[in-house]
Amino acid sequence: MPRTDWTPHRRDDGELLGWIHPEGDEWVAVDVLGRAASEPTEWLDAEAALEERGISWLADPWMLDGEAGGPLRVRILEVTPDDDRASGRIVVKIDDFGDITRPLTQQYVLAWPAPDRLRPPSPTDPDPRVF
């Protein structure tokens, strides 16, 4: 667990969705990337924020800024949060669009919590399928 005052929140099947921690008299949801998933709110609303985000969004394409001439389309391979024994990390790879015949693509190891340069795609990002 990243912090001693963070309470893990899991799906019914036990999959970790994130944590909830106190902030004043309210609670903040934190997703598995270590980013706030809610503003300070009631406990049930913090739980709902994590449930809404779920974990499937990690499988979506992401963009990584600052590693090449423009943003790179990447996929998340690993998310390991900080714990009391070691610093966490996030491992991403350049998106290979699921082509198992392609050679291995470049991987990048990022600190946990996720830096801002790892972000969801935006409409202004280049289409990686167009050369």
* pLDDT tens digits, 45-72: 999 999 998 888 899 999 999 987 889 9
- Model's pTM, two decimal places? 0.86
64 occurs within a structural domain: yes
What distance in Å separates the CA atoms of residue 89 and residue 127, rounded to the nearest whole number? 27
Return mean pLDDT, the chain. Answer: 90
Residue 130 confidence (pLDDT): 66
Are the C-beta atoms of residues 94 and 106 closer than 8 Å to each other? yes
- Residue spans of beta strands (DSSP E) within 14-119: 16-23, 26-31, 62-64, 72-80, 89-94, 107-111, 118-119
Question: What is the domain extent for residue 23?
Answer: 7-55
Nearest CA-CA partner of 2 in 105, 113, 126: 113
126 in any annotated domain: no
> Distance between CA atoms of 73 and 96, rounded to whole angstroms?
9
Instruction: Give the Cα separation of 53 and 123 in Å (integer).
Output: 20
> Would 2 be classed as within a structural domain?
no
Inside any domain, residue 98? yes
State the total domains in the chain.
Answer: 2
Residue 19 lies in a domain: yes
pLDDT in tens, 2-57: 788 999 999 999 999 999 999 999 999 999 999 999 999 999 999 999 999 888 88
